[in-house]
């Protein structure tokens, strides 16, 4: 008999099996690597362009929230208020009452738009810019109209508007060092100014006319006192910011 020994036959079969396994193995591993490369390659599937457009549309639509709409309403009320205030020479009680209503709506919306924006996370870049502009615009329009009609001395208008514009400018100057928070005195000042200007818009006589004089006097005092306090806070904030920067620079150099 010329048969092959069992050990040789077993070795041949094992070698063949190993050869088959080695032949199959690389192809499978190569396929896995290819699949991984395809999924992780820079040229793999990209997000659909429509998704980016939709996201941009959502971000753009977020500007049209209730807080910003109230701010826009205040901006629209400014020319409407001026027209009502100066209608028929500016001394008609009926037109002055309508002007007071426009002013009151503007002041009330000022109380709500900021609260809504902070509470419901509706703060936008538009609101940050438009809200202070709307505040200064309606108050400035009222003061200038009252002084132009001879109902309020020009120096009162100058003090109030000068303080408001000056503090706004001061905030921008020191913003690199930090933010000056709104104080209770500032909020009381805003409320007192609104009440005083509102009383001057109405055609009041008698003891109410006397009362509005004293309310305006209190508003002017609060305007000056809180303005000086903001200046003090700005100086302290600037000195602290400079000191912290110098300390950080020394630590870096060390």
Query: Using one digit for the tens of pLDDT, what is the confidence trace for 78-106?
Result: 999 999 999 999 999 999 999 999 999 99
Structure confidence at residue 18 as a pLDDT band (50, 70, 90): very low
Query: Using one digit for the tens of pLDDT, what is the confidence trace for 162-198?
Result: 999 998 888 888 888 887 777 788 889 989 999 999 9
Instruction: Give 24 or 96, the one with higher predicted confidence.
Output: 96
Query: Using one digit for the tens of pLDDT, what is the confidence trace for 190-237?
Result: 899 999 999 999 989 999 999 999 999 999 999 999 999 999 999 999
For 183-244, the DSSP string reads PHHHHHHHHHHHHHHHHHHS---THHHHHHHHHHHHHHHHHHHHHHHHHHHHHHHHHHHHHH
Structure tokens at 29: 């591993």
- Domain extents in the chain: 61-151, 152-254
Share of the chain above pLDDT 90, in %: 43
């Amino acid at each position: 008999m010329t048969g092959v020994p069992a050990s040789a036959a077993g070795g041949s079969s094992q070698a063949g099996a190993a050869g088959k396994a080695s032949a199959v193995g690389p192809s499978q591993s190569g396929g896995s690597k290819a699949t991984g490369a395809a999924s992780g390659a820079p040229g793999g599937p990209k997000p659909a362009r429509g998704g980016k457009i939709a996201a941009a549309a959502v971000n753009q639509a977020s500007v049209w929230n209730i807080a910003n709409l109230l701010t826009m309403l205040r901006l629209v009320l400014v020319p409407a208020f001026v027209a009502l205030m100066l209608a028929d020479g500016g001394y008609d009680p009926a037109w002055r009452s309508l002007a007071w209503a426009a002013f009151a709506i503007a002041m009330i919306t000022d109380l709500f738009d900021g609260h809504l924006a902070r509470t419901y996370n509706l703060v936008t870049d538009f609101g940050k810019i438009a809200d202070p502009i709307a505040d200064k615009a309606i108050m400035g329009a009222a003061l200038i109209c009252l002084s132009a009609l001879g109902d309020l001395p020009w120096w009162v208008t100058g003090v109030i508007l000068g303080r408001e514009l000056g503090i706004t400018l001061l905030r921008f100057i020191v913003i690199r060092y930090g933010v000056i928070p709104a104080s209770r005195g500032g909020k009381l000042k805003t409320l007192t100014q609104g009440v005083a200007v509102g009383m001057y818009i109405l055609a009041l006589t008698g003891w109410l006319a006397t009362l509005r004089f004293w309310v305006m006097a209190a508003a002017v005092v609060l305007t000056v006192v809180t303005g000086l306090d903001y200046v003090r806070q700005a100086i302290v904030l600037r000195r602290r910011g400079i000191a912290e920067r110098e300390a950080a620079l020394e630590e870096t150099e060390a």
